[in-house]
Amino acid sequence: MIEDKEAPGSAPANDAGEIAGDFPDEGAAAPPEERIATLEGELADTKDRLLRALAETENVRRRAQRERDDTQRYAISGFAKDLLATADNLRRALDSVPEAEIKDVRLRSLLDGVAATERELLSVFERHGLQRIDPKGERFDHNFHQAVFEVERPDAPAGTVIEVLQPGYVLHDRLLRPAMVGVAKAAPAEGR
Q: Which domain holds residue 112?
A: 76-185
Residue 29 lies in a domain: no
Tell me, yes or no, whether 50 lies in a domain.
no
The C-alpha atoms of residue 121 and residue 115 are separated, in whole angstroms, by 10
Q: How far apart are the first and last CA of the chain?
A: 122
Residue 38 located in a structural domain: no
Q: How many domains does the chain have?
A: 1
Residue 63: inside a domain, yes or no? no
Residue 4, pLDDT above cutoff 80: no
40 inside domain = no
Contact 148, 180 (CB under 8 A): yes
Residue 61 pLDDT: 96
Instruction: State residue 149's pLDDT score.
Output: 93
Q: Is the pLDDT confidence value at 173 over 90?
A: no
pLDDT at 192 over 80: no
Of 93, 82, 92, 90, the residue nearest 169 (C-alpha) = 82
What CATH number is given to the structural domain containing 147?
Answer: 2.30.22.10
Residue 154 confidence (pLDDT): 84
Of 6-10, 55-59, 72-76, the one with minimum mean pLDDT is 6-10
Alpha helices in the chain (DSSP H): 16-21, 32-74, 77-96, 105-127
- Its pTM stands at 0.63
Residue 9 within any structural domain of the chain: no
The 3-state DSSP class for residue 26 equals coil
